[in-house]
Structure 1
């Protein structure tokens, strides 16, 4: 089940809890709207929540509780907004897929998210991604899975020319166009589209 919650959040959460108890859905995919008033603590009361896509609010830095059910996270971080990705990497302990809009948000997840296997960076700020340094940091995380990072064609080619190897022990770099994923929700596609 995929939802967008805009108004009367407590009522919506209560309604969703009732539907979950009655067996109408097992998994919940949630995307917050810009300037949403949904608090991170309200997310704890959503059973079956496995996907979370958020827009950080201007001058806001939400504190997230530990959300062990979240497997996919999207952070659309635009100019003028800031989010504490160090804290988020600690809160989303079972994260497997991550969508971020800039490379600055990547490092805390490289260092803390053991189960993370796919990352897509929508707007990489530089020309070359230092995958050797990322691989070195990933090796420090005991039990970490190999991580595939998807970037645009320009960054992929520049990195390949600079490093000659795009597949290291724990980090692999691929083109965004090579990623063919079918998801039960449309959030990922909407986040990739420019605003």
Structure 2
């Protein structure tokens, strides 16, 4: 369900494009982004940062596309989003714990060096995704770019996530179980017992 919620504007953009063209699709995506923010606030009283950033960018680039009647602006939006993510993931390493580790360490235990590698892999993936989007936008017809925006970028993401999952599984460690209160008191008693 969360997957559909996250990709709601992209799915509507795709359908609207097939029915009405790039300008209709842009307007629909802008409306969908605003609805997504409103729905998130109404249901949870909180909106994820990713949704705020994505909505702001779609409103800016979509607004420019509609105002200037130039689809190139909306075509840049996925690249800007990907490159911002690359920047955030890279910055997380320099300013403390890698973002991937913060997001996944409650599910999986791997050495810190592995978290750093996976985090840098995400940086590379986001940079590549942004570049691929622009390559398709500039070198192929608009219809191909719209298909790539939905299926190509999403397919690349799924393949990358599967590869990441396999890599992390190879390095996963068994979590160290926490001592129960009875075991703690037994250990304390042993420590204080005269030898």
User: Which structure carries more helix by proportion?
Assistant: 2
Bigger Rg over Cα: 2
Q: TM-score normalised to the size of structure 2? A: 0.25
User: Which structure carries more strand by proportion?
Assistant: 1
Q: TM-score normalised to the size of structure 1? A: 0.25
- The one of the two structures with greater contact order (alpha-carbon pairs below 8 A, sep at least 6) is 2
